[in-house]
């Protein structure tokens, strides 16, 4: 799946997937640096992350997420509050 990041939103290519390995491609379509962190939607510590991607670049990371609902967000200061978050479900 692809996650497109810009100021200030995250757009997911799909809202859900079935359990199993998933490759997340973080594409920085904006003008600032962004990253992608994943935490359970109910809260708690991060279960995965894609490091900082520069504008115009992308990074692919494979995750193994247990079934559940997750929040994808940019962990740079204030970026989540400004709108860089989205919900993703693993069935």
Residues of this chain that bind Cu ion (CB under 5 A): 34, 74, 76, 79, 84
Whether 4 contacts 56, CB under 8 Å: no
Query: Closest separation between CB of residue 55 and Cu ion, Å?
Result: 11
Residue whose Cβ sits closest to Cu ion: 74
Compute the least distance from the CB of residue 85 to Cu ion, in Å. 10
Give CA–CA dist 4/79, Å, rounded.
14
Is 46 or 64 the residue whose CB approaches Cu ion more closely?
Answer: 46
- The whole-angstrom separation of Cα 77 and Cα 63 is 24
């Amino acid at each position: 799946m692809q996650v497109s990041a810009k100021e200030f939103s995250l757009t997911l290519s799909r809202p859900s997937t079935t359990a199993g390995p998933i490759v997340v491609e973080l594409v920085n379509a904006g003008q600032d640096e962004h990253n992608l962190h994943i935490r359970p939607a109910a809260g708690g510590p991060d279960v995965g992350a894609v490091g900082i991607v520069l504008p115009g670049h992308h990074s692919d990371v494979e995750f193994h997420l247990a079934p559940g609902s997750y929040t994808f967000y940019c962990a740079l200061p204030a970026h989540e509050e400004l709108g860089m978050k989205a919900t993703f479900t693993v069935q």
